Amino acid sequence: MEINADFSKTALVHGADLDWQPSPMAGVERRMLDRIGKEKARATSIVRYAPGSHFSAHTHGGGEEFLVLDGVFQDEHGDYPAGSYVRNPPGSSHTPESEPGCVILVKLWQFDPADSTFVRLKEQDLEPMPVEAHPGVAIQPLFQNDYETVRFETWQPGIGVELDAPGGLEIFVVDGTLLHEGKRLRRWSWLRLPVESHLSALAGAAGCKLWVKTGHLAHQHLLAAPSA
């Protein structure tokens, strides 16, 4: 299966408009944003756990990165409420579940195989920091290594943001709206810009809260490839 598999092109998906697709586990559904592969795939998805649902214990051969959008995600390592950001590196394992139900944005098989860093952050513990080069923007850093940077960004209403993306860029709208090249992104919209792109965007009337990843698309050769 291939969905938005050409990383040399811009991809825009309004995640809230997609139908929920069943996963192999009852009570767990997904909306696919990009994907290369079958059940074991390089993938970016919105995943919904019904209350009381769970997923089988599994090992992350290519790593797992997720952001909790709603509810509470749970595993044997802890409870993660909305706003939590987690990185489980290659070779890690867990048994996910959600007693109250939850929705997460999850990326699979997109780690450097040598990345062994665990990250478990909760938004309420992160102090917003103003960005001097972009008045009206505040960031909350989530992760950084030699080839990618991940952060929350909060844009005040009506501000314009210009940003070069030499290593590519992904934006997921957690809340609010913005305009990019005449296209309106809203809650759960996902935008991927290729290497050597430029973001020219305008925050909506209520501003916006974004999950942003930069740099990684210039390093596709570092990613582990899922086996069939």
pLDDT along the chain (228 residues), means of 10: 94 98 94 91 96 90 95 95 96 94 96 92 94 94 95 98 95 98 97 97 98 93 68
Residue 86: predicted pLDDT: 97
Secondary structure class of 219 (helix, strand, coil)? helix
Give 133's DSSP letter.
Answer: T
Structure tokens at 177: 């709206």
**Single pTM value for the model:** 0.95
Domains and CATH numbers, the chain: 18-122 (2.60.120.10), 127-219 (2.60.120.10)
What token pair was written down for 31? Answer: 């909306």
Residue 164: count other Cβ atoms within 10 Å of its Cβ.
Answer: 11
* Joined tokens for residue 37: 């592969």
What pLDDT does 226 receive? 77
Residue with tokens 């939850």: 102
pLDDT digits (tens, 9 = 90+) for 39-93: 888 999 999 999 999 988 889 889 999 999 999 999 999 999 999 999 999 999 9
